[in-house]
Amino acid sequence: MAGSTLGTIFRITTWGESHGKGIGVVVDGCPAGLSLCEEDVQQMLDRRRPGQSKFTTQRSESDTVHILSGIFEGKTTGTPISMEVRNESQRSKDYSDIANYYRPGHADFTFDEKYGFRDYRGGGRSSGRETIGRVAAGAIAKKLLSEFGIEITAYSKEIGGIPIHSFNKEEIERNPFRMPDASAASKVAEYLKQKMAQRDSVGGIIECITTGMPTALGDPVFEKLDANLAKAILSIGAVKGFEIGDGFRAASACGSENNDAFRLKDGKPTKVTNHSGGVLGGISDGNELIFRAAIKPTPSIASTQQTVTKDGKEIEVNIKGRHDPIIVPRAVIVVEAMTALVLADALLLNMSSRIDYIKKIYSV
Ligand SMILES: Cc1cc2nc3c(=O)[nH]c(=O)nc-3n(C[C@H](O)[C@H](O)[C@H](O)COP(=O)(O)O)c2cc1C
Protein backbone atom coordinates (compact mmCIF):
# COMPACT_ATOMS: atom_id res chain seq x y z
CA MET A 1 0.00 0.00 0.00
CA ALA A 2 1.53 3.29 -1.09
CA GLY A 3 1.07 6.61 0.67
CA SER A 4 2.06 5.81 4.25
CA THR A 5 5.02 8.23 4.17
CA LEU A 6 4.97 12.00 4.85
CA GLY A 7 7.71 14.62 4.73
CA THR A 8 10.89 15.35 2.79
CA ILE A 9 13.69 15.66 5.39
CA PHE A 10 11.78 14.96 8.62
CA ARG A 11 10.09 11.91 7.14
CA ILE A 12 7.69 9.46 8.76
CA THR A 13 6.24 6.14 7.68
CA THR A 14 3.36 4.79 9.76
CA TRP A 15 2.43 1.10 9.80
CA GLY A 16 -0.05 -1.28 11.44
CA GLU A 17 -3.73 -2.10 11.68
CA SER A 18 -6.26 -1.69 14.50
CA HIS A 19 -6.40 -5.38 15.40
CA GLY A 20 -2.96 -6.51 14.23
CA LYS A 21 -0.13 -7.24 16.67
CA GLY A 22 0.88 -3.63 16.95
CA ILE A 23 0.99 -0.24 15.36
CA GLY A 24 3.85 2.20 14.90
CA VAL A 25 6.05 4.52 12.93
CA VAL A 26 9.55 5.00 11.62
CA VAL A 27 10.87 8.56 11.82
CA ASP A 28 13.81 9.27 9.55
CA GLY A 29 15.69 12.57 9.25
CA CYS A 30 15.44 13.73 12.86
CA PRO A 31 18.70 15.59 13.57
CA ALA A 32 21.17 13.93 15.96
CA GLY A 33 21.61 15.33 19.46
CA LEU A 34 17.97 16.04 20.36
CA SER A 35 17.22 14.98 23.95
CA LEU A 36 14.52 12.34 23.76
CA CYS A 37 13.12 9.57 25.95
CA GLU A 38 10.09 7.29 25.83
CA GLU A 39 8.31 9.49 28.38
CA ASP A 40 8.36 12.45 25.91
CA VAL A 41 6.43 10.32 23.42
CA GLN A 42 4.27 8.57 26.02
CA GLN A 43 2.93 11.87 27.38
CA MET A 44 1.48 12.78 24.00
CA LEU A 45 0.14 9.25 23.40
CA ASP A 46 -1.56 9.37 26.82
CA ARG A 47 -3.45 12.47 25.71
CA ARG A 48 -4.71 10.57 22.61
CA ARG A 49 -5.46 7.33 24.47
CA PRO A 50 -9.06 6.03 24.42
CA GLY A 51 -11.22 5.09 27.40
CA GLN A 52 -10.46 8.22 29.44
CA SER A 53 -14.07 9.38 29.73
CA LYS A 54 -17.54 8.07 28.92
CA PHE A 55 -17.38 10.21 25.78
CA THR A 56 -14.67 8.15 24.06
CA THR A 57 -14.51 4.56 22.85
CA GLN A 58 -14.37 2.14 25.78
CA ARG A 59 -11.56 0.24 24.09
CA SER A 60 -9.12 0.63 26.99
CA GLU A 61 -5.42 0.16 26.25
CA SER A 62 -2.26 1.50 27.82
CA ASP A 63 -0.82 2.45 24.40
CA THR A 64 2.67 1.98 25.81
CA VAL A 65 5.36 3.04 23.38
CA HIS A 66 8.64 1.22 22.86
CA ILE A 67 11.40 3.08 21.06
CA LEU A 68 13.34 0.39 19.24
CA SER A 69 16.11 2.42 17.61
CA GLY A 70 17.67 5.81 16.94
CA ILE A 71 18.33 6.87 20.54
CA PHE A 72 21.47 6.45 22.62
CA GLU A 73 22.18 7.85 26.07
CA GLY A 74 19.02 9.99 25.97
CA LYS A 75 19.74 11.64 22.64
CA THR A 76 18.73 11.02 19.04
CA THR A 77 21.54 9.56 16.94
CA GLY A 78 20.35 10.84 13.53
CA THR A 79 19.42 7.29 12.48
CA PRO A 80 15.83 6.03 11.95
CA ILE A 81 13.73 6.12 15.12
CA SER A 82 11.39 3.14 15.11
CA MET A 83 8.51 3.15 17.59
CA GLU A 84 5.97 0.46 18.36
CA VAL A 85 2.77 0.27 20.40
CA ARG A 86 1.39 -3.23 20.94
CA ASN A 87 -2.39 -3.67 20.51
CA GLU A 88 -3.84 -5.11 23.73
CA SER A 89 -7.62 -4.96 23.65
CA GLN A 90 -8.78 -6.38 20.32
CA ARG A 91 -12.32 -7.77 20.26
CA SER A 92 -12.32 -8.78 16.63
CA LYS A 93 -15.56 -10.76 16.87
CA ASP A 94 -17.44 -7.44 17.29
CA TYR A 95 -16.37 -6.70 13.75
CA SER A 96 -17.01 -10.03 11.98
CA ASP A 97 -20.26 -8.65 10.48
CA ILE A 98 -18.53 -5.77 8.73
CA ALA A 99 -16.49 -8.25 6.71
CA ASN A 100 -19.65 -8.73 4.65
CA TYR A 101 -21.28 -5.27 4.53
CA TYR A 102 -20.23 -1.69 4.08
CA ARG A 103 -20.60 0.70 7.03
CA PRO A 104 -22.14 3.97 5.83
CA GLY A 105 -19.65 6.84 6.19
CA HIS A 106 -16.68 4.50 6.73
CA ALA A 107 -13.91 3.35 4.39
CA ASP A 108 -15.13 -0.25 3.91
CA PHE A 109 -16.66 0.17 0.43
CA THR A 110 -13.86 2.22 -1.12
CA PHE A 111 -11.13 0.07 0.45
CA ASP A 112 -12.72 -3.07 -1.08
CA GLU A 113 -13.16 -1.37 -4.46
CA LYS A 114 -9.47 -0.46 -4.44
CA TYR A 115 -7.78 -3.55 -2.99
CA GLY A 116 -10.42 -6.27 -3.27
CA PHE A 117 -9.39 -7.50 0.19
CA ARG A 118 -9.27 -5.84 3.60
CA ASP A 119 -8.45 -6.42 7.25
CA TYR A 120 -11.95 -5.51 8.44
CA ARG A 121 -11.17 -6.01 12.16
CA GLY A 122 -11.74 -2.66 13.85
CA GLY A 123 -11.43 -0.80 10.55
CA GLY A 124 -7.93 -2.14 9.86
CA ARG A 125 -5.71 0.55 8.39
CA SER A 126 -8.63 3.03 8.22
CA SER A 127 -9.07 2.93 11.99
CA GLY A 128 -8.56 5.92 14.28
CA ARG A 129 -5.88 3.75 15.85
CA GLU A 130 -3.65 4.38 12.82
CA THR A 131 -3.10 7.85 14.29
CA ILE A 132 -0.93 6.38 17.08
CA GLY A 133 2.08 6.39 14.74
CA ARG A 134 1.38 9.99 13.74
CA VAL A 135 1.10 11.10 17.36
CA ALA A 136 4.30 9.29 18.42
CA ALA A 137 6.22 10.90 15.54
CA GLY A 138 4.52 14.24 16.23
CA ALA A 139 5.80 14.14 19.82
CA ILE A 140 9.37 14.06 18.48
CA ALA A 141 8.63 16.86 16.00
CA LYS A 142 7.12 18.92 18.84
CA LYS A 143 10.22 18.38 20.94
CA LEU A 144 12.41 19.53 18.03
CA LEU A 145 10.26 22.63 17.45
CA SER A 146 10.30 23.55 21.14
CA GLU A 147 14.11 23.95 20.85
CA PHE A 148 13.30 26.90 18.57
CA GLY A 149 10.52 28.33 20.75
CA ILE A 150 7.75 27.05 18.46
CA GLU A 151 4.71 25.82 20.44
CA ILE A 152 1.52 24.25 19.09
CA THR A 153 -1.85 24.25 20.87
CA ALA A 154 -5.02 22.74 19.43
CA TYR A 155 -8.45 22.60 21.08
CA SER A 156 -12.12 22.06 20.31
CA LYS A 157 -13.67 25.32 19.16
CA GLU A 158 -17.13 23.92 18.56
CA ILE A 159 -18.82 20.55 19.16
CA GLY A 160 -22.26 19.55 17.88
CA GLY A 161 -22.84 23.20 16.89
CA ILE A 162 -22.05 24.44 20.45
CA PRO A 163 -19.22 27.03 20.22
CA ILE A 164 -16.78 28.25 22.87
CA HIS A 165 -17.34 31.81 24.10
CA SER A 166 -14.15 32.25 26.12
CA PHE A 167 -10.57 30.99 26.04
CA ASN A 168 -8.74 29.64 29.08
CA LYS A 169 -5.74 27.56 28.00
CA GLU A 170 -5.57 25.69 31.36
CA GLU A 171 -9.17 24.52 30.86
CA ILE A 172 -8.36 22.57 27.66
CA GLU A 173 -7.02 19.46 29.41
CA ARG A 174 -9.51 19.72 32.32
CA ASN A 175 -12.66 18.66 30.47
CA PRO A 176 -13.25 15.57 28.29
CA PHE A 177 -13.91 17.69 25.18
CA ARG A 178 -10.65 19.69 25.21
CA MET A 179 -12.66 22.92 25.15
CA PRO A 180 -10.99 26.05 26.57
CA ASP A 181 -14.42 27.16 27.91
CA ALA A 182 -15.80 25.12 30.86
CA SER A 183 -19.36 26.34 30.38
CA ALA A 184 -19.43 25.32 26.69
CA ALA A 185 -17.97 21.93 27.71
CA SER A 186 -20.82 21.28 30.16
CA LYS A 187 -23.41 22.18 27.51
CA VAL A 188 -21.68 19.73 25.14
CA ALA A 189 -21.79 17.00 27.83
CA GLU A 190 -25.60 17.36 28.12
CA TYR A 191 -26.09 17.42 24.35
CA LEU A 192 -23.82 14.43 23.78
CA LYS A 193 -25.57 12.37 26.47
CA GLN A 194 -28.82 12.89 24.54
CA LYS A 195 -27.19 11.93 21.24
CA MET A 196 -25.57 8.82 22.77
CA ALA A 197 -28.96 7.76 24.16
CA GLN A 198 -30.30 8.12 20.61
CA ARG A 199 -27.35 5.96 19.42
CA ASP A 200 -26.07 8.86 17.37
CA SER A 201 -22.79 10.79 17.10
CA VAL A 202 -21.69 14.41 16.55
CA GLY A 203 -18.80 16.32 14.97
CA GLY A 204 -17.12 19.66 15.53
CA ILE A 205 -14.36 22.14 14.75
CA ILE A 206 -10.75 22.04 15.97
CA GLU A 207 -8.66 25.20 16.03
CA CYS A 208 -4.87 25.04 16.08
CA ILE A 209 -2.60 27.94 17.04
CA THR A 210 1.19 27.88 16.68
CA THR A 211 3.21 30.56 18.47
CA GLY A 212 6.88 31.45 18.08
CA MET A 213 6.70 31.01 14.31
CA PRO A 214 9.75 32.21 12.40
CA THR A 215 9.28 33.84 8.99
CA ALA A 216 10.27 31.98 5.79
CA LEU A 217 8.93 28.45 6.36
CA GLY A 218 7.28 27.00 3.25
CA ASP A 219 7.87 27.51 -0.46
CA PRO A 220 6.02 29.56 -3.08
CA VAL A 221 4.55 26.90 -5.38
CA PHE A 222 3.84 23.20 -4.70
CA GLU A 223 5.33 23.13 -1.20
CA LYS A 224 3.32 26.03 0.19
CA LEU A 225 3.15 25.82 3.97
CA ASP A 226 -0.64 26.17 3.99
CA ALA A 227 -1.01 23.55 1.22
CA ASN A 228 1.17 21.08 3.10
CA LEU A 229 -0.74 21.71 6.32
CA ALA A 230 -4.04 21.22 4.50
CA LYS A 231 -2.86 17.89 3.09
CA ALA A 232 -1.55 16.68 6.46
CA ILE A 233 -4.71 17.67 8.32
CA LEU A 234 -7.10 16.34 5.67
CA SER A 235 -5.20 13.04 5.80
CA ILE A 236 -6.60 12.46 9.32
CA GLY A 237 -9.70 10.21 9.22
CA ALA A 238 -12.97 12.14 9.58
CA VAL A 239 -11.48 15.58 8.74
CA LYS A 240 -13.74 17.14 6.12
CA GLY A 241 -12.62 20.77 5.99
CA PHE A 242 -9.54 22.94 6.45
CA GLU A 243 -9.30 26.72 6.57
CA ILE A 244 -6.42 29.02 7.44
CA GLY A 245 -6.78 32.50 8.95
CA ASP A 246 -10.17 33.91 8.01
CA GLY A 247 -10.59 30.97 5.61
CA PHE A 248 -14.04 30.81 4.02
CA ARG A 249 -15.01 34.16 5.61
CA ALA A 250 -12.36 35.83 3.41
CA ALA A 251 -14.55 35.02 0.40
CA SER A 252 -17.19 37.54 1.50
CA ALA A 253 -14.81 40.23 2.83
CA CYS A 254 -13.53 43.24 0.86
CA GLY A 255 -9.81 43.59 0.15
CA SER A 256 -9.65 46.57 2.49
CA GLU A 257 -10.96 44.35 5.32
CA ASN A 258 -9.04 41.21 4.50
CA ASN A 259 -5.57 42.68 3.87
CA ASP A 260 -3.27 42.79 6.88
CA ALA A 261 -1.61 46.23 7.01
CA PHE A 262 2.13 46.39 7.72
CA ARG A 263 3.77 48.70 10.28
CA LEU A 264 7.27 48.72 11.68
CA LYS A 265 7.82 47.09 15.08
CA ASP A 266 11.36 47.33 16.43
CA GLY A 267 12.36 48.31 12.88
CA LYS A 268 10.87 45.14 11.34
CA PRO A 269 7.83 44.90 9.03
CA THR A 270 5.00 43.49 11.16
CA LYS A 271 1.37 42.81 10.30
CA VAL A 272 -1.15 44.77 12.36
CA THR A 273 -3.85 42.09 11.99
CA ASN A 274 -3.67 38.40 11.09
CA HIS A 275 -6.46 37.62 8.64
CA SER A 276 -3.93 35.56 6.66
CA GLY A 277 -3.45 33.13 9.57
CA GLY A 278 0.33 33.48 9.48
CA VAL A 279 1.07 32.50 5.87
CA LEU A 280 1.46 34.77 2.83
CA GLY A 281 2.27 33.29 -0.58
CA GLY A 282 2.81 29.87 0.99
CA ILE A 283 5.55 31.22 3.30
CA SER A 284 5.21 31.88 7.05
CA ASP A 285 4.98 35.61 7.80
CA GLY A 286 6.10 35.47 11.45
CA ASN A 287 2.60 35.83 12.93
CA GLU A 288 0.81 33.10 14.83
CA LEU A 289 -0.21 30.25 12.55
CA ILE A 290 -3.98 29.76 12.92
CA PHE A 291 -6.11 27.19 11.15
CA ARG A 292 -9.27 25.18 11.73
CA ALA A 293 -10.33 21.66 10.81
CA ALA A 294 -13.92 20.41 10.48
CA ILE A 295 -14.47 16.90 11.88
CA LYS A 296 -17.49 14.88 10.83
CA PRO A 297 -19.64 12.88 13.29
CA THR A 298 -18.30 9.37 14.00
CA PRO A 299 -19.57 7.20 11.15
CA SER A 300 -20.06 4.00 13.22
CA ILE A 301 -23.36 4.51 15.03
CA ALA A 302 -25.62 1.93 16.68
CA SER A 303 -28.89 3.31 15.29
CA THR A 304 -30.43 1.55 12.31
CA GLN A 305 -28.92 2.41 8.92
CA GLN A 306 -29.38 1.16 5.38
CA THR A 307 -26.52 -0.44 3.50
CA VAL A 308 -25.61 -3.28 1.16
CA THR A 309 -23.67 -6.53 1.54
CA LYS A 310 -20.61 -7.47 -0.49
CA ASP A 311 -22.72 -10.00 -2.38
CA GLY A 312 -25.30 -7.42 -3.37
CA LYS A 313 -28.17 -7.56 -0.81
CA GLU A 314 -29.83 -4.45 0.63
CA ILE A 315 -29.91 -4.74 4.44
CA GLU A 316 -30.41 -2.70 7.62
CA VAL A 317 -27.62 -2.61 10.20
CA ASN A 318 -26.96 -1.55 13.79
CA ILE A 319 -23.20 -1.27 14.08
CA LYS A 320 -21.57 -3.05 17.02
CA GLY A 321 -18.10 -2.55 18.48
CA ARG A 322 -16.60 0.14 20.67
CA HIS A 323 -16.66 3.54 19.00
CA ASP A 324 -16.00 7.16 19.87
CA PRO A 325 -19.39 8.94 20.08
CA ILE A 326 -17.31 11.99 19.15
CA ILE A 327 -13.92 12.00 17.46
CA VAL A 328 -13.09 15.70 17.98
CA PRO A 329 -11.35 15.66 21.43
CA ARG A 330 -9.02 12.81 20.47
CA ALA A 331 -8.39 14.27 17.02
CA VAL A 332 -7.13 17.47 18.74
CA ILE A 333 -3.93 15.61 19.62
CA VAL A 334 -3.60 14.22 16.09
CA VAL A 335 -3.98 17.75 14.68
CA GLU A 336 -1.17 18.96 16.96
CA ALA A 337 1.00 16.04 15.84
CA MET A 338 0.41 16.57 12.10
CA THR A 339 1.09 20.30 12.47
CA ALA A 340 4.37 19.57 14.26
CA LEU A 341 5.42 17.13 11.52
CA VAL A 342 4.78 19.64 8.73
CA LEU A 343 6.53 22.47 10.60
CA ALA A 344 9.57 20.36 11.57
CA ASP A 345 10.01 19.37 7.92
CA ALA A 346 9.58 22.99 6.72
CA LEU A 347 12.08 24.18 9.35
CA LEU A 348 14.74 21.75 8.14
CA LEU A 349 13.99 22.37 4.44
CA ASN A 350 14.36 26.12 4.88
CA MET A 351 18.02 25.71 5.91
CA SER A 352 18.98 25.13 2.27
CA SER A 353 16.97 28.03 0.79
CA ARG A 354 19.84 30.56 0.74
CA ILE A 355 23.54 30.45 -0.09
CA ASP A 356 24.36 32.51 3.02
CA TYR A 357 22.63 29.94 5.26
CA ILE A 358 24.59 27.10 3.63
CA LYS A 359 27.86 29.03 3.96
CA LYS A 360 27.12 29.55 7.66
CA ILE A 361 26.71 25.80 8.19
CA TYR A 362 30.01 25.05 6.45
CA SER A 363 31.79 28.10 7.97
CA VAL A 364 32.77 29.40 4.52
C1 LIG B 1 -8.70 9.69 16.64
C2 LIG B 1 -9.77 9.11 15.74
C3 LIG B 1 -10.69 8.21 16.26
C4 LIG B 1 -11.69 7.66 15.45
N5 LIG B 1 -12.58 6.79 16.01
C6 LIG B 1 -13.56 6.25 15.22
C7 LIG B 1 -14.50 5.33 15.79
O8 LIG B 1 -14.45 5.00 16.97
N9 LIG B 1 -15.45 4.83 14.96
C10 LIG B 1 -15.53 5.18 13.63
O11 LIG B 1 -16.42 4.72 12.93
N12 LIG B 1 -14.67 6.06 13.09
C13 LIG B 1 -13.68 6.59 13.84
N14 LIG B 1 -12.79 7.48 13.28
C15 LIG B 1 -13.03 7.94 11.89
C16 LIG B 1 -12.71 6.97 10.82
O17 LIG B 1 -11.38 6.53 10.92
C18 LIG B 1 -12.97 7.61 9.44
O19 LIG B 1 -14.16 8.32 9.43
C20 LIG B 1 -13.00 6.56 8.35
O21 LIG B 1 -11.72 6.01 8.17
C22 LIG B 1 -13.48 7.11 7.00
O23 LIG B 1 -12.62 8.12 6.53
P24 LIG B 1 -13.13 9.60 6.20
O25 LIG B 1 -14.07 9.98 7.31
O26 LIG B 1 -11.89 10.44 6.22
O27 LIG B 1 -13.80 9.55 4.87
C28 LIG B 1 -11.77 8.03 14.07
C29 LIG B 1 -10.82 8.93 13.54
C30 LIG B 1 -9.83 9.46 14.36
C31 LIG B 1 -8.86 10.44 13.76
Instruction: Compute the C-alpha angle 112/136/22, nearest 5°.
Output: 50
Would residue 172 count as lying in a domain?
A: yes
Q: pLDDT band for 36, please (50, 70, 90 cuts).
A: very high
Which residue's alpha carbon is nearest to atom 4 within ligand 1?
128
CA distance linking residue 275 with residue 266, whole number of Å: 22
CA distance linking residue 69 with residue 83, whole number of Å: 8
Q: pLDDT band for 1, please (50, 70, 90 cuts).
A: low
Higher pLDDT, 128 or 118: 128
Domain that holds residue 201: 91-362
- Is the distance from the beta carbon of residue 321 to the nearest atom of ligand 1 less than 6 Å? no
Compute, in angstroms, the gap from residue 296 CA to the centroid of ligand 1.
9
Residue 51 pLDDT more than 80?
A: no
Q: pLDDT band for 323, please (50, 70, 90 cuts).
A: confident
Q: What is the pLDDT of residue 93?
A: 64
Compute, in angstroms, the gap from residue 215 CA to the centroid of ligand 1.
34
What are residue 243's phi and psi, to 5 degrees? Answer: -145, 140
Compute, in angstroms, the gap from residue 299 CA to the centroid of ligand 1.
7
Residue 317 pLDDT more than 80?
A: yes
Collapsing DSSP to helix, strand or coil, 76 comes out as: strand
Compute, in angstroms, the gap from residue 1 CA to the centroid of ligand 1.
19
* pLDDT tens column, 217-231: 999 999 999 999 999
Would residue 18 count as lying in a domain?
A: no
Would residue 28 count as lying in a domain?
A: no
- Is the distance from the beta carbon of residue 237 to the nearest atom of ligand 1 less than 6 Å? yes
Under 8 Å between Cβ of 163 and 350: no
Residue 56 pLDDT more than 80?
A: no
Mutate to test the pocket of ligand 1, among 106, 206, 318, 333 (most ligand atoms within 8 A of CB): 106
pTM of the entire predicted model: 0.96
Mutate to test the pocket of ligand 1, among 19, 58, 127, 295 (most ligand atoms within 8 A of CB): 127
Which residue's alpha carbon is nearest to atom 9 within ligand 1?
323
Q: What are 107-116's contacts with CB under 8 Å, separation 24+?
A: 107/237, 112/310, 115/1
Q: pLDDT band for 122, please (50, 70, 90 cuts).
A: confident
Residue 92 pLDDT more than 80?
A: no
Would you give the DSSP letter of residue 35?
A: B
CA distance linking residue 181 with residue 171, whole number of Å: 7
- Is the distance from the beta carbon of residue 201 to the nearest atom of ligand 1 less than 6 Å? no
b/e map 117-149, b = 16+ CB within 10 Å: ebbbbbbbbbbbbbbbbbbbbbbbbbbbbeeee
Compute, in angstroms, the gap from residue 274 CA to the centroid of ligand 1.
32
Would residue 103 count as lying in a domain?
A: yes
Q: What mean pLDDT is predicted for residues 35-64?
A: 87
- Is the distance from the beta carbon of residue 325 to the nearest atom of ligand 1 less than 6 Å? no
Compute, in angstroms, the gap from residue 210 CA to the centroid of ligand 1.
25
Residue 60 pLDDT more than 80?
A: no
Q: Which atom of ligand 1 is nearest to the CA of 107?
A: 22
Q: Which CATH number covers residue 349?
A: 3.60.150.10
Would residue 38 count as lying in a domain?
A: no
Q: What is the pLDDT of residue 96?
A: 72
Q: Which atom of ligand 1 is nearest to the CA of 126?
A: 21
Q: pLDDT band for 94, please (50, 70, 90 cuts).
A: low
Q: What is the pLDDT of residue 343?
A: 98
Collapsing DSSP to helix, strand or coil, 282 comes out as: coil
Higher pLDDT, 321 or 192: 192
Domain count along the chain? 1
Q: Which atom of ligand 1 is nearest to the CA of 239?
A: 26
Under 8 Å between Cβ of 349 and 220: no
Q: Which is nearest to 61 in space by CA: 85, 94, 38, 44? A: 85
Q: Which atom of ligand 1 is nearest to the CA of 237?
A: 26
CA distance linking residue 27 with residue 153, whole number of Å: 22
Residue 90 pLDDT more than 70?
A: no
Q: What mean pLDDT is predicted for residues 78-91?
A: 90
Q: What is the pLDDT of residue 97?
A: 74
* % of the chain residues with pLDDT over 70: 98
Q: What is the pLDDT of residue 52?
A: 75
Collapsing DSSP to helix, strand or coil, 265 comes out as: strand
CA distance linking residue 204 with residue 258, whole number of Å: 26
Q: Which atom of ligand 1 is nearest to the CA of 299?
A: 11
Strand partners, 306: 316
Compute, in angstroms, the gap from residue 345 CA to the centroid of ligand 1.
26
Q: Which atom of ligand 1 is nearest to the CA of 333?
A: 1
Q: What mean pLDDT is predicted for residues 316-342?
A: 93
Would residue 225 count as lying in a domain?
A: yes
Would residue 6 count as lying in a domain?
A: no
Which residue's alpha carbon is nearest to atom 3 within ligand 1?
128
Q: What is the pLDDT of residue 269?
A: 95
Mutate to test the pocket of ligand 1, among 202, 327, 328, 335 (most ligand atoms within 8 A of CB): 327
Compute, in angstroms, the gap from residue 258 CA to the centroid of ligand 1.
35
Q: pLDDT band for 91, please (50, 70, 90 cuts).
A: low
Q: What mean pLDDT is predicted for residues 320-324?
A: 78
Q: What is the pLDDT of residue 98?
A: 79
Q: Which atom of ligand 1 is nearest to the CA of 240?
A: 26
Residue 180 pLDDT more than 90?
A: yes
* pLDDT tens column, 341-361: 999 999 999 999 999 999 999
Mean pLDDT of all residues belonging to the chain: 94
* pLDDT tens column, 243-299: 999 999 999 999 999 999 999 999 999 999 999 999 999 999 999 999 999 999 999
Would residue 197 count as lying in a domain?
A: yes
Q: Which atom of ligand 1 is nearest to the CA of 295?
A: 25
Q: What mean pLDDT is predicted for residues 319-342?
A: 92
